[in-house]
Homo-oligomer: A and B are copies of this chain.
Amino acid sequence: MKLICPLCGRTYDGPVQRCECGGPVEFERFRGEPYIGRSVWERFWDFWPVEPELELSLGEGDTPLVRSKLGKELGIRLYLKNETVNPTWSFKDRGTFLAMSHALKAGHKTVGTVSTGNMAASVAAYASRFGLKSKILVSENASNEKLKAVSVYGGEVVRVSGDYGRLYFESLELGERLGIYFINSDNPFRVEGYKGIAFEIAEGASPDYVLVPTSSGGLFRGIAKGFLELHENGLMDELPTLVAVQAEGCSPICRAFREGKSRVERFENPKTIAKAIANPYPPSGDAVLRLLREFNWKCVSVSDGEVVEAQRRLANEGLFVQPASATGVAALKRLEIPEGAKVVSILTGSGLKTLKGAPEGEVGECPLEELERCLR
């Protein structure tokens, strides 16, 4: 098991969480070939840093790649990778499952995470599934409603008051000391789990562009590594152009990219309805920045208005997503994509998770006796 820091190049032999330089660490690229198998875990067996605990799988991954009608007006072929149909209804489950497989094998008894949304539910669910205790650290202003979808799984949910941004790093440090394995947003095993999205996309289409809603950077790094491994192993001819998509109201990576900075700086006063991608100081930000530069990829940010419009249009195709998941489709108009290009946008999480803020349709009224008139 060899880990490398993409920022400074240091290598580690054990499963560390972060590099001494502060960067995220990642597994070396894997070599292998695909097999026939029911699940993405089996088909890409050579490519995981730990043997997936298939008996404890909840069926994460192997999500549909849906042809969208929205590409037509832009003259592109648009596909939607629907991650909202994972076991806890977001892409997080892929990474959680793999990291939990590691935690179990490594003998950890307790796992944790820092999140108020999709990742909190995912870690709580899989911890229970794996028979491990969990400590889910959430911010003090997380709504009771949101926490219900987390606490139901039976973990220990703790509202932490104070600087929530510091919590990510403090949890890793404390976790090490107290024997709690924290599976945060860019935990190296978690990031590996996201490679499955790239693998499955490549099985269904050979895309020219892949649009990735980007917050901490873990998802982007995972999908990028997946495509890089396919390419290096001769399983894909051309690398797609990856596009990191952020919300304008919290776009630290796009800003640093645009301004030619080598480091991502904290985004002050973040404000967007796309809460699931509103990390003002993304722990994998610098690593994403390097990838964007190295491969000449893109970063695009979109306004809340564009997000709501994209969310509405996706629902009109039968796919109800949370605002963060609509950013990819919202970004389409801001990109100059050649006609006929194959584009995949990742739908990261279910609209049921943010029902309160969902765009409302019209609801009429009708007495039963007048139903015929009302239906005409």
Contacts and interface: CB of A to CB of B under 8 A. Distances in A.
A26 B169 CA distance: 60
A175 B163 CA distance: 58
A174 B371 contact: yes
B55 A59 contact: no
A375 interface: yes
A163 B368 contact: yes
Interface stretch (A83-91, A223-231, A232-240): A83-91
Contact of A151 (B88, B125, B318, B361): B361
A57 B364 CA distance: 29
Contacts of A104: none
Interface in A331-365: 350-353, 355, 358-365
B157 A352 contact: no
B67 A361 contact: no
A372 B159 CA distance: 14
Contacts of A135: 375
A161 interface: yes
Nearest to A154: B316
A202 interface: no
A188 interface: no
Contacts of A316: 128, 153-154
Nearest to A136: B363
A294 interface: no
A108 interface: no
A87 B85 contact: yes
Nearest to A145: B355
Interface string A213-249: 0000000000000000000000000000000000000
A365 B152 contact: no
Contacts of A372: 174, 177-178
Contacts of A85: 59, 85-87, 89
A198 B177 CA distance: 50
Interface in A151-189: 151-163, 166-167, 170-171, 174-175, 177-178, 180
B89 A82 contact: no
Contact of A317 (B55, B121, B128, B156): B128
A36 to B, nearest CB: 11
Contacts of A160: 365-368, 371, 374
A183 B38 CA distance: 33
Contacts of A317: 128-129
A73 to B, nearest CB: 14
Nearest to A313: B154
A148 interface: yes
Given A161-B366, A167-B368, A149 B375 contact: no
A56 to B, nearest CB: 8
A352 B89 contact: yes
Interface of A: 55, 57-59, 63-67, 82, 85-89, 112, 121, 125-126, 128-129, 135, 137-138, 140, 145, 147-163, 166-167, 170-171, 174-175, 177-178, 180, 312, 315-320, 350-353, 355, 358-369, 371-372, 374-376
The 6 closest A-B pairs by CB, nearest first: A59-B64, A162-B368, A151-B361, A129-B318, A125-B318, A352-B352
6 contacts: A58-B66, A59-B82, A128-B316, A129-B318, A159-B366, A167-B371
